Copies of this chain bind each other. A is one copy, B any other.
Amino acid sequence: MIKKSLPMNVLYAQSGGVTAVINATAWALIDEARKKYGLIGDVYVGSNGIVGVLEENLVDTKRIPESVLARLPYTPAGAFGSCRFKLDPPDKNPGPYERLLALFAAHRIGYFFYNGGGDSQDTARKIADYCHGRGHPVRVVGLPKTIDNDLYGTDFSPGYGSVAKYIAISTFEAALDVASMSATSTRVFILEVMGRHSGWIAAASALAQKRPGDPPHLILFPERPFEAEDFLARVRETVESRGFCVIVASEGIRDPGGRFVSEGGGRDAFGHVQLGGVAPVLAQLVGMRLGYKSHWAVSDYLQRAARHLASRTDWEAALAVGRAAIRKALAGSDGVMLTLERGAGPHPRFRIGEIALDQVANRERVLPPEFIRAGGYGLTPVARRHLLPLIQGEAPLLYADGIPDYVRELPRRWLKKRLPSFAAR
């Protein structure tokens, strides 16, 4: 039985690939709930996303020491654990949904916040629909987060601005390195960045450009087919005119036949596809066909975990989303995802809005065609104007003995279980 007189508790969980600022959202949500204590109850967090929710592995945040909690907004990745886990539709497998209702009732959950990308918003939608269909009074709100910036319905997603800043600066720095060496050594440098389906991250590599011809000279977007001969001609032309060539390639580029370029390394002796990555395949192509010495880098997790280089604007957006989650849910928001919109609100660069979860789910936002320059290898001025605000400012960082003072492992102060065990996996 739920006693209506007592305030309801909050359940929050992190889902999907993590970012440099998702913990800022978590902290702001916890902090805002505390300020509203009385109107709202305790904040519990699912360990490893919906998996921990289903298995009743819930962290009781009021039992986390303040000295640890206070460092959370300065810590990258998902301190509570994240997951890649999809719920089957309820008509196919109602068990997890029944379980969630039982859990919400057992722990007096009145507000459920799921912090993730497109797939996670789809999970939130399914849960919201099920709860509403059963007349269960939990308010479900999706919180945006993705480095890929491909969430539909929001102008940008927390996490993207920080990876964008990291890639812009890393490309700038590596380009200065290649320029230094190009007279007698390396002529071509290739940086592989994340973004399997959309080129938002690759686009960010151009944000340090000031004049025409500034590196990166060629950006390979997954929105455009990779034409090897055209690419090679452009590399040669760039080396001949500028002395060196800096290339940024999205991991998701495909040849005109739709095959991932990263599979171009062929198969090994056992018949396995080579785990090559795009950058080494391109480096080999450049070396074989043009004879230039090249270097290549693959940023992988370094780019999305790089809290040391987080954008202050992005960090503030992540904080704003966490605070707004509590305020909006208290005011009645339900079945929605919070969004970030351009224009001044309490923050000079964005304000918080919302969109129905069923409008968000199963949609993906690729780079608008007008962001890619004619020819396909560069960014247009309209794209620069759109993206530059997202990397403004440097998020504050706590250092101790030369190393950022990140939360290493959150003490798992578990909420006492009240339900029989349940295997989510």
Contact = CB atoms under 8 A, between A and B. Distances in A.
A268 B297 contact: no
A163 to B, nearest CB: 12
Interface stretch (A73-81, A116-124, A411-419): A73-81
A172 B403 contact: yes
Interface string A139-182: 00000000000000000000000000100111011101111110
B299 A302 contact: yes
Contacts of A425: 184
A406 B175 CA distance: 12
Interface stretch (A88-96, A101-109, A315-323, A390-398): A390-398
Given A177-B305, A295-B300, A392 B402 contact: yes
Copies held by the complex? 2
A95 B208 CA distance: 43
B305 A308 contact: no
A393 B75 CA distance: 19
Given A177-B301, A274-B265, A284-B275, A388 B406 contact: no
A277 B190 CA distance: 14
Contact of A300 (B52, B297, B393): B297
A200 B283 CA distance: 27
Contacts of A79: 176, 180
A343 interface: no
Interface size class of A (residues with CB under 8 A): 35 or more
A240 interface: no
B302 A176 contact: no
A400 to B, nearest CB: 10
A169 B403 contact: yes
A176 B84 contact: no
B288 A297 contact: no
A304 B177 contact: yes
Given A184-B425, A298-B297, A302-B297, A268 B280 contact: no
A401 interface: yes
Contact of A307 (B173, B189, B210, B302): B173
A172 B406 contact: yes
A406 B173 CA distance: 9
Contacts of A85: 184
B301 A174 contact: yes
A75 B403 contact: no
Given A183-B81, A297-B300, A308-B309, A403 B168 contact: yes
Nearest to A397: B394
B274 A277 contact: no
A388 B408 contact: no
A225 B170 CA distance: 32
A309 B183 CA distance: 27
Interface of A: 14, 17-18, 47-49, 51-52, 75-79, 81-85, 165, 168-170, 172-174, 176-181, 183-185, 189, 191, 207-208, 210, 214, 265-266, 268-270, 272, 274-277, 279-280, 283-284, 287-288, 295-302, 304-309, 311, 388, 391-394, 399, 401-404, 406, 408-409, 425
18 contacts: A14-B180, A48-B183, A77-B177, A79-B180, A81-B179, A170-B306, A173-B307, A174-B300, A174-B305, A177-B304, A191-B302, A214-B408, A265-B276, A266-B269, A275-B280, A296-B298, A297-B302, A309-B309
**Nearest 4 pairs of A and B residues by beta carbon:** A78-B180, A77-B176, A297-B300, A173-B305
Given A82-B181, A392-B402, 14 more contacts: A18-B181, A83-B183, A165-B402, A169-B308, A173-B406, A189-B301, A265-B265, A265-B274, A266-B269, A274-B280, A279-B298, A296-B300, A297-B300, A309-B309
